[in-house]
């Protein structure tokens, strides 16, 4: 076996008195550091998923999970669903949420307006289906100018809660929850854990480039959100004591989003939010690349506004693609100067980073499938079955991510489902234009692929 001493000696000779060579070595080591950091984060995510209580598939779930405390039948729950636009899977969402195995719960739906496309969908569902849970449907009563309409709808959904309600669950219109979803939330909340959250996993239904890019980007975002404690409002449970806190309602009354602003409130109250793999939601909608990229910028904007992890997410997201480019340039310079050992190190660092990316996505998916067996269907094939589409999606995501990060960092206005918001200093939100209110017409979008961006 060849000793490393000659290699180190040769490298030292190439770098002796060579400032550019040392810079190239630093770039290679930096890229290796990024690769190792990603490996550690995914390992951490996998460990969190393994540590969570295992749930059987939804069809085999018993009436009470053996690891959960006995459920208090008198403790009711309220599910709040805020709607603006006719999401393509809305009827499936309504069917799933009205078939929960929780012993006592109600569904409160707040629709943006009487002319919103979601209104006839909800009415048609109520006419065609008998449900065991009571359903209340109301239009958004007030349209404040200093918070998002999503937060305004949530605050309206929290109004007039009877004392029997002990759990509040928030759901997005593109989430089709398994039967155990609400009961899992209720049984996990405790005196210390005042919030429980899931996250999303995307299963591309077609060959659309945007769908595969979203899968690749979201895999990394899922890991960062779990490891940095960023909740997701699409599948989120709240303890009644948290909902009754004035500090939470005050925060939402001036917030752009409900989920990323939540950890700050929990920290002030000395409580925590727990991630549960069983609450992961699988999204099977298609999206175009042109619709996906602005959505990413808006997702990142919420982290910039409210979460301290942005100070890590922003530089780390810029560093990875920048180091790949710099390492490529350093390798080219090394070859032209005859620094062949340095060129090999640069190439090895680039190869390790690029090869690790699809492997990490497969690892993340395996951890998600293991932690949420009840939400993946038999026809949800692992991404390894379409590895070349995944690699293309990863490449596009890596190329587009710096642009989305920069847009989120510099954004002063944001369009969200027909509403334009101003992002003022100090995370102050202002509604500049509301298309539905201004035109008194449906707030739906022209392309079905955009509806998934809730």
Strand segments (E) across 172-246: 193-197, 200-202, 235-239
Q: How far apart are CA 371 and CA 387, in angstroms?
A: 22
Q: How far apart are CA 394 and CA 39, in angstroms?
A: 16
Strand segments (E) across 147-192: 165-171
Torsion of CA 348, 351, 356, 361, to 10 degrees: 170
DSSP state for residue 281 in the 8-state scheme: E
Q: How far apart are CA 258 and CA 153, in angstroms?
A: 11
Helix (H) / strand (E) containing 42: helix 19-51
Q: How far apart are CA 131 and CA 145, in angstroms?
A: 36
Q: How far apart are CA 88 and CA 106, in angstroms?
A: 23
pLDDT for residue 117? 94
Q: Which of 280, 282, 287, 295 is nearest to 206 (CA)?
A: 287
- Ranges of each domain in the chain: 21-45+311-410, 75-287, 414-438+445-452
Region 355-361: mean pLDDT is 95
Conformational region of residue 178, where left means phi above 0, alpha means psi within -120 to 50, and beta covers everything else: beta
Region 424-447: mean pLDDT is 72
DSSP state for residue 249 in the 8-state scheme: H
pLDDT for residue 448? 34
Q: How far apart are CA 185 and CA 96, in angstroms?
A: 15
Question: What tokens appear for 41 in the block?
Answer: 């984060």
pLDDT for residue 438? 64
Q: Which pLDDT tens digit goes with each residue over 382-398?
A: 776 788 899 999 999 99
Contact call for residues 390 and 398 (beta carbons, < 8 A): no
Strand segments (E) across 350-399: none
Q: Which of 166, 163, 156, 115 is nearest to 136 (CA)?
A: 156
Quote helix, strand, coil % in the chain, to nearest 5. Answer: 55, 15, 30
pLDDT for residue 22? 72
Strand segments (E) across 66-147: 76-83, 105-111, 135-139
Q: Could you tell me the CA-to-CA distances from 133 to 64, 108, 136, 388 in Å, in that order?
A: 19, 10, 10, 45
The residues near 211 (Cβ < 8 Å, ≥ 6 apart) are: 202, 204, 205, 285, 286, 287
* Choice among 151-155, 278-282, 374-378, 430-434 with the minimum mean pLDDT: 374-378
Q: Return the CATH fold of 75-287.
A: Spore Coat Polysaccharide Biosynthesis Protein SpsA; Chain A (3.90.550)
Overall pTM > 0.85 = yes
pLDDT for residue 384? 67
Q: Which pLDDT tens digit goes with each residue over 84-132?
A: 998 888 999 999 999 999 999 999 999 999 999 999 999 999 989 888 8
Q: Which of 308, 322, 318 is nearest to 405 (CA)?
A: 318
Reduced 3-state DSSP string for 90-133:
HHHHHHHHCCCCCCCEEEEEEECCCCCCHHHHHHHHHHHCCCCC
Give yes or no for residue 450 having a pLDDT over 80.
Answer: no
Q: How far apart are CA 256 and CA 389, in angstroms?
A: 34
Question: What tokens appear for 407 in the block?
Answer: 């847009």
Strand pairing of 272-275 and 413-416? unpaired
Contact call for residues 178 and 238 (beta carbons, < 8 A): no
């Amino acid at each position: 076996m060849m000793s490393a001493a000659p290699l180190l000696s040769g490298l030292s000779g190439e770098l002796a008195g060579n400032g550019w060579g040392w810079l190239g070595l630093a770039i290679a080591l930096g890229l290796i550091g990024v690769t190792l950091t990603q490996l550690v984060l995914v390992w951490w995510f996998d460990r969190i998923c393994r540590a969570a209580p295992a749930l059987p598939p939804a069809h085999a779930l018993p009436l009470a999970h053996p690891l959960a405390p006995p459920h208090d039948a008198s403790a009711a729950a309220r599910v709040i669903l805020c709607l603006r636009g006719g999401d393509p899977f809305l009827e499936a969402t309504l069917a799933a949420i009205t078939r929960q195995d929780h012993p006592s719960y109600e569904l409160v739906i707040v629709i943006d307006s009487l002319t919103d496309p979601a209104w006839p969908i909800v009415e048609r569902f109520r006419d065609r289906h008998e449900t065991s849970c009571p359903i209340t449907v109301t239009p958004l009563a007030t349209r404040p100018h200093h918070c998002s309409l999503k937060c305004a709808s949530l605050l309206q959904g929290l109004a007039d809660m009877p004392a029997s309600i002990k759990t509040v669950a928030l759901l997005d219109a593109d989430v089709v929850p398994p039967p155990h979803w609400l009961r899992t939330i209720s049984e996990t909340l405790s005196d210390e854990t005042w919030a429980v959250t899931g996250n999303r996993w995307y299963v591309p239904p077609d060959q659309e480039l945007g769908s595969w890019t979203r899968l690749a980007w979201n895999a990394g975002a899922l890991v960062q959100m779990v490891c940095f404690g960023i909740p997701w409002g699409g599948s989120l449970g709240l303890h009644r004591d948290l909902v009754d806190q004035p500090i939470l309602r005050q925060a939402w009354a001036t917030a752009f989003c409900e989920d990323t602003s939540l950890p700050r409130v929990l920290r002030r109250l000395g409580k925590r939010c727990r991630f549960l793999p069983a609450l992961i939601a699988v999204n099977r909608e298609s999206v175009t690349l042109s619709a996906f990229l602005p959505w990413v910028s808006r997702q990142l904007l919420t982290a910039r506004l409210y979460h301290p992890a942005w100070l890590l997410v922003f530089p780390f997201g810029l560093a990875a693609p920048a180091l790949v480019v710099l390492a490529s340039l350093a390798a080219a310079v090394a070859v032209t100067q005859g620094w062949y050992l340095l060129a090999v190190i640069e190439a090895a660092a680039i190869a390790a980073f690029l090869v690790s990316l699809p492997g990490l996505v497969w690892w993340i998916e395996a951890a998600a499938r293991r932690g949420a067996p009840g939400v993946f269907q038999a026809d949800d094939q692992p991404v390894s079955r379409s590895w070349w589409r995944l690699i293309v999606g990863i490449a596009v995501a890596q190329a587009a991510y710096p642009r989305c990060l920069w847009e989120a960092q510099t954004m002063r206005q944001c369009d969200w489902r027909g509403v334009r918001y101003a992002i003022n200093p100090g995370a102050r939100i202002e509604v500049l234009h509301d298309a539905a209110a201004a035109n008194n017409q449906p707030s739906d979008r022209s392309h079905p692929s955009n509806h998934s961006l809730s």
